[in-house]
Structure 1
């Protein structure tokens, strides 16, 4: 049975973890924004090489990239829900 002292220690330990978790969350947010920026803005740089390699016109290459972004947006929520329901391990 928990004692009042252990409850106090648990509460105090939780309070000391909050600033650390906030820093971790902030770092993850910044990393996510930078990685999406790098991936998204790299496309105009890579588009000429993609069109040369595939033989597709630039409009088709851009449309494929846009379709991939829309597909990721539409599929993201249901796939996230499936992953939440079926946790690993």
Structure 2
């Protein structure tokens, strides 16, 4: 329950600052944390800092999302388009 509360708090703050829906940010957080459970403890401590330092990015998530052009993409699609390799 604490993780859900933290996700909602961070999503609300980041969404407000970025001018985007908090639900979209929450989805990105869940996607990222699902694919990268090693970052859960750090997220619980530092919250939005993981966005600031570039740790949380859509291409490192694990769930599909709607791109700006309306396409439904997986993070792997985005990595391929950006020619990115997981380190």
Q: Please tell me the TM-score bracket, short chain as reference.
A: 0.3 to 0.5
Of the two, which has the highest radius of gyration?
A: 1
Q: Compute the TM-score of the two structures, normalised by the length of structure 1.
A: 0.32
Q: Compute the TM-score of the two structures, normalised by the length of structure 2.
A: 0.33
- Relative contact order, higher structure (CA 8 A, sep 6+): 2
More strand by share: 2
More helix by share: 1
